[in-house]
Amino acid sequence: TGTRSSRRVRAPQLGQEFSFQMPIGVTAVIAHMYVFDGARLTEFAVRWTDATDTLAYMDGLGGYTDFATGISLFRGNTVFHTLKFVADPASGLYVRAILDATEYDLSAASGMDTAFVVEPYMICEIHLDGVGGANSSIYVDDVIITQNEPA
């Protein structure tokens, strides 16, 4: 037999970062973070959309709100872009997003919060939306999950 103990600690500010290459046929790239603290689920996501050249965060209702426009990503086999966002699960707020060398303040934006009783854990996903009928793919590199991010 074994024993199991757990203690609740305040979730630090968490970050998700990755680099990706943009081929033809990609309509959106989405970084998604789910944080379960034992009593609730807080979801954060940042999306780049090709048709509108926008960056958006997933808001408290599960929709997307644009925070940057004119974001035309270079497409090529040898160029990688880097996307990072930081969120504070304890407050339910985003902190910032960074695409390549440009930083965006998201401190007034809230993630989507739902009551959800489950053991504490975190999931990070990277989604690709492609053109219908195409077999789209992207190269992803340097996936990093960070904690205790500065404010």
Averaged pLDDT, 41-70? 95
Position 135 scores a pLDDT of 73
Beta-carbon contacts of residue 134 (< 8 Å; ≥ 6 apart): 25
Position 105 scores a pLDDT of 97
E strands, the chain, in order: 14-21, 26-36, 40-49, 54-58, 64-68, 80-88, 93-99, 102-105, 112-115, 121-130, 140-147
pLDDT at 5 over 50: no
Confidence bin at 11 (pLDDT 50/70/90): low
Position 10 scores a pLDDT of 52
Averaged pLDDT, 90-96? 94
Averaged pLDDT, 134-151? 83
**47 vs 130, more confident:** 47
* Gyration radius (Cα) of the chain, Å: 16
Averaged pLDDT, 5-12? 49
Averaged pLDDT, 53-66? 96
Q: Rounded to two decimals, what is the model's pTM?
A: 0.86
pLDDT at 131 over 60: yes
Here the tokens at position 123 are 């999931």
Averaged pLDDT, 40-46? 93
